[in-house]
């Protein structure tokens, strides 16, 4: 029986765990101790921090796993890349995982790769943040570089808010820097996809419903398909492929926050995993295949999980 290791046991990983069991895989889950629902569903559990690369590698080697994956969280992505590299498993490369879990490294990679993205710089003090904001021009966005889900992110409209925004981003981060970038205006959408052999073989733009707070926005829902022109659809695909190439993402699902204005596209951020808040369920319902199954098949080493016909049909229906 093949063995799959799933990092995380929260609500976003439960459907992945259930799918692995339904597919007949021996399912091992890893998480810090807690009252998480995924523990009760697994064949075996390891109570480890999903950021602890060496401990998880040791567990993976002990179990001789055939694949490792997660869903809906950036926290475990770097560990997945590390284990895949050390054990020669199918999954996101470690270097790509490191880039896609650090917003400043991602910004550098996007800049070097010609990706359309907001201008921004990493800073190591509130004073540097203020200088950068003045250079970029207000409003700006101050971001914690190693969190997801809009945590540690503040939209700043004047200099009096910079120090608090910097402290909010810096606190809770394992890095000694934060990111300050130009605030973009446009419509925020989401884009999910899948990468095989360094090419996007599936792409699914979608409408994003967000709650707008005083200083940030939080996604609360999604809708498929995203209605747009053929020209905009092609530009979304072009920019997403540039982001994939720039980051080195491969053999993984991707989830991106994207701004559009007319036919202009900016890639704000991209993760090396599928989105949360029921995105895999919506993809499965709209496109007619089980997206969790596709993730598990890829992690287990299946080389071609999207046929050309399936990918073409999905692309035709994406907008």
Mean pLDDT of 261-276: 95
- Exposed/middle/buried for 278, CB within 10 Å: 0-12, 13-18, 19+? middle
* Cis preceding-peptide flag for 139 (omega within 30 of 0): yes
Residue 294's pLDDT is what? 95
Does residue 308 have a cis peptide bond before it, meaning omega lies within 30 degrees of 0? no
**Residue 22 three-state SS:** helix
Q: How large is the average pLDDT for residues 185-212?
A: 92
pLDDT at position 314 is 62
Taking only the tens place, the pLDDT of each residue in 300-319 is 998 767 765 555 556 566 65
Average pLDDT over residues 35-42: 98
pLDDT of res. 308: 55
Average pLDDT for 38-46: 98
pLDDT reported for residue 311: 56
Q: What is the pLDDT of residues 44-96, one digit of tens each?
A: 999 999 999 999 999 999 999 999 999 999 999 999 999 999 999 999 999 99
Q: How far apart are CA 50 and CA 56, in angstroms?
A: 7
99 and 106 Cβ atoms separated by less than 8 Å: yes
Q: Give the closest residue to 159 by CA, choosing from 139, 145, 184, 185.
A: 139
pLDDT value, residue 232? 96
The residue that leads in pLDDT, 265 or 277, is 265
**Mean pLDDT of the region 199-219:** 83
Residue 34, classified by CB atoms within 10 Å of its CB into exposed (0-12), middle (13-18) or buried (19+), is: exposed
Q: What is the pLDDT of residue 196?
A: 94
Ordered structural domains, the chain, with CATH: 3-89 (3.40.50.20), 119-182 (3.30.1490.20), 187-316 (3.30.470.20)
What are 37-40's contacts with CB under 8 Å, separation 24+?
37/9, 37/10, 37/11, 38/6, 38/8, 38/9, 38/10, 38/13, 38/14, 39/9
Question: Is a pLDDT exceeding 60 seen at residue 276?
Answer: yes
- Given a cut of 70, is residue 216 above it in pLDDT? no
Q: With 60 as the cut, is the pLDDT of residue 112 above it? A: yes
CB of 212 closer than 8 Å to CB of 224: no
pLDDT at 286 (0 to 100) = 93
Higher pLDDT, 192 or 316: 192
What does the alpha-carbon distance between residue 16 and residue 296 come to, in Å, rounded to a whole number? Answer: 8
Q: How far is CA 104 from CA 3, 119, 133, 196, 306, in A?
A: 35, 11, 16, 25, 32
Q: Is 289 exposed, middle or buried (0-12, 13-18, 19+ CB in 10 A)?
A: middle
Residue 113 near residue 245, CB atoms below 8 Å: yes
pLDDT for position 309: 55
Q: What is the pTM of this model?
A: 0.92
214-236 burial code (b ≥16 CB/10 A, e <16): ebbeebeebebbbebeeebbebb
Q: What is the pLDDT of residue 313?
A: 57
pLDDT at position 212 over 80:
no
- Rounded to 5 degrees, what are φ and ψ at 285? -70, -45
Q: 178-182 and 120-123: which strand pairing?
A: antiparallel
**pLDDT score of 317:** 62
The pLDDT assigned to 221 comes to: 87
Query: What confidence score (pLDDT) does residue 161 get?
Result: 95
Q: What value does the mean pLDDT of the chain take? A: 93
Edge-first strand listing for the sheet containing 187-196:
217-223, 199-212, 187-196, 252-261, 264-271
pLDDT over threshold 70, residue 119: yes
């Amino acid at each position: 029986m093949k063995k799959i290791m799933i990092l995380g046991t929260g609500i976003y990983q439960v459907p992945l765990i259930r799918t692995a069991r339904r597919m007949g895989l021996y399912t091992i889950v890893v998480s810090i101790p807690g009252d998480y629902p995924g523990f009760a569903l697994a064949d075996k559990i390891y109570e480890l921090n999903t950021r602890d690369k060496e401990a998880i590698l040791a567990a993976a080697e002990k179990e001789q796993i055939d694949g490792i994956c997660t869903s809906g969280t950036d926290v475990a992505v770097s560990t997945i890349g590390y284990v895949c590299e050390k054990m020669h498993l199918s999954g996101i490369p470690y270097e790509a995982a490191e880039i896609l879990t650090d917003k400043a490294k991602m910004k550098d990679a996007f800049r070097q790769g010609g990706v359309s993205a907001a201008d921004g710089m990493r800073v190591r003090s509130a004073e540097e943040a203020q200088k950068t904001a003045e250079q970029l021009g207000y409003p700006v966005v101050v971001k914690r570089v190693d969190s997801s889900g809009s945590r540690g992110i503040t939209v700043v409209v004047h200099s009096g808010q910079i120090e608090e925004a910097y402290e909010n981003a810096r606190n809770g981060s394992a890095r000694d820097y934060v990111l300050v970038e130009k605030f973009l205006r446009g419509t925020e959408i989401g884009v999910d996809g899948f990468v095989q052999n360094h090419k996007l073989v599936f792409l699914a733009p979608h409408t994003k419903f967000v709650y707008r707070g005083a200083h940030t926005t939080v996604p609360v829902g999604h809708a498929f398909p995203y209605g747009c022109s053929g020209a905009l659809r092609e530009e979304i695909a072009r920019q997403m492929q540039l982001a994939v190439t720039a980051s080195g993402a491969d053999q993984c699902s991707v989830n991106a926050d994207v701004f559009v204005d007319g036919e202009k596209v900016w890639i704000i951020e991209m993760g090396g995993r599928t989105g949360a808040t029921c995105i895999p369920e919506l993809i499965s319902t709209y496109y007619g295949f089980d997206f969790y199954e596709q993730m598990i098949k890829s992690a287990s080493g299946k080389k071609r999980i999207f046929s050309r016909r399936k990918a073409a049909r999905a692309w035709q229906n994406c907008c």
